[in-house]
Structure 1
Amino acid sequence: MIVGLTGGIGSGKTTVAKLFSEYKNVAVYIADIEAKKLMNSSIIMKSKIIKEFGEEAYKDNQLNREFIANIVFNDKEKLTILNSIVHPEVKKHFQKFVLKNTKRDYILYENAILFESNNTSFCDVIISVFVPLKVRIQRVISRDNTSESAVLQRMKNQWLEAKKLLQSNYIICNIKLEDTKNQVAKIHNILTKNKT
């Protein structure tokens, strides 16, 4: 069983994914982390990114994330191009991960743009992490040392919260850590058919 985990920027998806990873019978795949690794290690991806964004896209053989982010978060067309390079490779990588983890109770697939990238089709269950907009903005500002306008610009590239929530099987309200832990435990019990 593949469980998709998503949520808007600053909702705390990584925190929720970590809570799920504490269960030994769960395999967790964080698409963003794997995509970054692949962008640095895949020769195919590197050459496509350089061809599209120029030599500056890599600095000391590592992806120049700030340079790329400045381009794609201000240009929807460039974001689409980057996604068309990255997503197919991440998808292939994830398929290999699934094959390696078939004995687990379920695989948690954490992806910020699960709906936007049309990756819900291979998920059996979808969980959305929800946090009020003001809280999300504050979290991202302090986490990334950025401005409110920069955060709002990045949010423009994600679906509206309500649209995601309506298409999710479960919603985790991630404001207080203790409450979040309880919600994760409850969902895990349902998914593994344990009785609470």
Structure 2
Amino acid sequence: MLRIMLKVGLTGGIGSGKSEVSRLLAARGAVVIDADKIAREVVEPGTAGLAHVVGVFGAGVLHEDGSLNRERLGSIVFADSERLASLNAIVHPLVGARVAELQEQTDDDAIMVYDVPLLAENNLAPMYDVVVVVDASDEVRLARLVGLRGMNEGDARARFAAQATRENRLKIADIVVPNEGSLKDLQVQVDEVWAELTARATP
């Protein structure tokens, strides 16, 4: 019987630096399950997931090579909550099934970190022993998305609007990781988080 020592839900708004925290936790020994990565895998060319997406949204959401055009699909769903719900209804069950497979392959006594962008939105906090929220102001996140990712401001704000508010994310947090400074600052924060998670996991 698989015994996971500690199940940690990791979340944060787009542009908060959640993926960097995830990477740093993995480097410290966490087993990380990345919901975004899995969500990409389940709609790769040739999958039933991609066929279902095309059936609902049309072939216009594909690149010429048959792969999913995420930018085009994103511009559709993040401007329309009903369309977003339709996409989630396709992708979320596939992601859940894949996560279950990965859990079965994991060593006993792992500290498992589930990197879940929509943890707050989907009311998933009760699934985890600890919820870690990576936090940055909307202004800082917007500057990162526009300056570092090249996203236009309108698209960035649409993504914000489709996600939980900063306040709602913080309400579900057991541990908050402030991330408005340097990478070195963040590394110090993650060291502290890892120490706390290790302490919580110790019988």
Q: Look up the match of 1:101.
A: 106
Q: Which residue of 2 aligns with 1:189?
A: 195
1:63 maps to what in 2? 68
Paired residues for 1:40-189 under 5 Å: 40=44, 43-59=47-63, 60-175=65-180, 176-189=182-195
Q: Which runs of 4+ in 1 moved over 3 A?
A: none
Equivalent residue letter for 2:31: A
Percent identity between the two aligned chains: 30
Question: What are the Cα deviations for residues 15-69 of structure 1, in whole angstroms up to 9, with x where unaligned?
Answer: 1111101123x11111111111211156221221011001122221211112211
> Structure 1 residues 9, 84: closer, same or farther in 2, change over 3 A?
same
Deviation at 1:104, TM superposition (A): 4.7
Q: TM-score, normalised by structure 1?
A: 0.92
Structure 1: runs of 5 or more not aligned: none
- Name the CA distance, whole Å, in 1 between partners of 2:115 and 2:24: 12
Alignment of 1:32-47 (within 5 A): 32-40=36-44, 43-47=47-51
Give 1:179 deviation, angstroms: 2.2
| Unaligned 5+ runs, structure 2 | 1-5
Tell me the C-alpha RMSD between the 2 structures. 1.6
Structure 1 counterpart of 2:34, one-letter code: I
The answer to whether the aligner puts 1:11 opposite 2:19 as a matched pair is no
The separation in 2 between residues aligned to 1:132 and 1:66, in whole angstroms, is 24
Question: How many angstroms apart in 2 are the aligned matches of 1:33 and 1:111?
Answer: 10
CA distance in 2, matches of 1:185, 1:78: 40
Mean CA deviation greater in 34-43 or 145-154: 34-43
- The aligned residue for residue 35 of structure 2 is 31
Whole-Å separation in 2 of the counterparts to 1:42 and 1:162: 40
TM-score normalized with structure 2 length: 0.89
**1:145 offset after TM fit, Å?**
1.2
Number of residue pairs aligned between Structure 1 and Structure 2? 193
